[in-house]
Structure 1
Amino acid sequence: MSLGTVINLLRSGIFQILMLSAPILVTALVVGLVVAIFQATTSIQEQTLTFVPKIMSILAVLALLGGWMFASLREYTINLFEMIPQLVR
C-alpha cells in the first residue's frame, strides 16, 4: 500500500464525514442563531427555548435526509470493502 493510497483513503473518509455532518450542523447553527436573535430582542433568557427548536430541527433534517445519508455511507463502505484485495497486495 503506497502513501498515495493512504492519503486518498484519508481524504475520502474526511470528505464523507463532512458531507454527512454538514446538513445537521448547518441546521443547528441557523436555528441557534435565529433563537439567539429572538432571545436578544425579547429579553427572554429561557434555556429550553434554545434546546427544543434545535432538537426538533435536527430530527426533521434527519427524517428528510436520513435515507440519502445512509445510502451515501453504505456506498462508501461497500467501496472500502471492495478495495481490500487491492490494499493487501
Structure 2
Amino acid sequence: MTSDFIIGLAREAIEITLLTSMPVLLVSLVVGVGISLFQAVTQIQEQTITFVPKIVVTFLALLFFGAWMLNEMAQFLREILQNFPQWIR
C-alpha cells in the first residue's frame, strides 16, 4: 500500500461521510434559518423555540433519508471488504 492509495481511500471515506450527512444537515439548517427569521420578525428572543422544531425535522429527515444513507455506507464498506485481500498483498 502506498501513501497515495491511503490518501485516496481516506478522501473517498470523507466524501461518503459528507454525502450521507448533507441531507440531514441541510434540512436542519433551513429550519434553523426559518425559525431565526420568524424570531427576528416577531422579536421573540426565546432560545428554546429553536430546539424542538430542529430536533423533530432532523429525526424526520433521518427517517426519510436513512435507508439511502445506510445503503451508501454499506456499499462503501462492501467495496473495502471485497478489495481488502488484494490490498494487503
Shorter-chain TM-score category? Answer: over 0.9
- Aligned pair 1:73/2:61, yes or no? no
**Secondary structure at 2:50 match in 1:** helix
One-letter code of the match for 2:85?
A: P
Aligned counterpart, 1:58: 58
Alignment of 1:1-89 (within 5 A): 1-89=1-89
Report the Cα distance in structure 1 between the residues aligned to 2:3 and 2:47, rounded to whole angstroms. Answer: 49
Aligned residues: 89
Q: CA deviation at 1:45?
A: 1.5
Q: Match of 1:30, SS?
A: helix
SS where residue 44 of structure 1 aligns?
coil
- What does the per-residue CA deviation read over 1:27-66, in whole Å, with 9 as the maximum and x for residues that have no partner? 1111110000100110111222100110111111101110
Runs of at least 4 residues off by over 2 Å: none
Q: Please list every run of 5 or more consecutive structure 1 residues that lacks an aligned counterpart in the other structure.
A: none
Cα RMSD (Å) of the superposition? 0.9
Q: For structure 2, which runs of at least 5 residues remain unmatched after alignment? A: none
